[in-house]
């Protein structure tokens, strides 16, 4: 089984904006077309309230104890992400994540896995 290595992408200006709590600056940069690789990033303990997550690839990210309240993740990729102890009131998750996966990750820190699509 492969292990995921969390990344502190210090040289990535958009990741740095999120780490520094500059959510609106991040949103503005994304709106202007800037791109960033946010897979496997460490967001533990950060407040990301107000984040525009539309279309973001957040696979493998670690959100332990983060404030994710009110974020709409419904159109982004959270496969393999963990939300242990995060604040998630009002948060929307992708439909591919079952309520059980979300609950297990929230309570026990398991990595969320997308359910297979039924065709």
Three-class SS state of 53: coil
Beta bridge pairs of residue 62? 42, 82
C-beta separation of 60 from 45 below 8 A: no
Beta bridge pairs of residue 87? 67
Q: Which helix (H) or strand (E) holds 17?
A: helix 13-19
pLDDT tens by residue, the chain, 119 residues: 445 566 666 688 999 999 999 999 999 999 999 998 999 999 999 999 999 999 999 999 999 999 999 999 999 999 999 999 999 999 999 999 999 999 999 999 999 999 875 54
Q: Look at residue 1 in the predicted model and tell me its pLDDT.
A: 43
Q: Token match 């709409």: residue?
A: 72
Give this prediction's pTM. Answer: 0.88
Q: How many CB atoms lie within 10 A of CB 54?
A: 13
Beta bridge pairs of residue 28? none
Q: Look at residue 115 in the predicted model and tell me its pLDDT.
A: 81
């Amino acid at each position: 089984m492969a292990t995921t290595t969390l990344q502190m992408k210090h040289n990535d200006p958009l990741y740095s904006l999120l780490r520094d709590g500059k959510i609106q600056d991040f949103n503005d940069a994304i709106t202007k077309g800037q791109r960033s690789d946010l897979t496997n990033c460490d967001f533990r303990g950060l407040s990301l309230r107000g984040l525009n997550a539309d279309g973001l690839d957040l696979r493998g990210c670690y959100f332990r104890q983060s404030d994710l309240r009110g974020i709409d993740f419904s159109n982004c990729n959270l496969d393999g992400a963990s939300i242990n102890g995060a604040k998630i009131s009002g948060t929307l998750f992708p439909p591919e994540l079952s309520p059980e996966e979300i609950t297990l990750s929230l309570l026990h820190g398991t990595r969320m896995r997308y359910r297979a699509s039924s065709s």
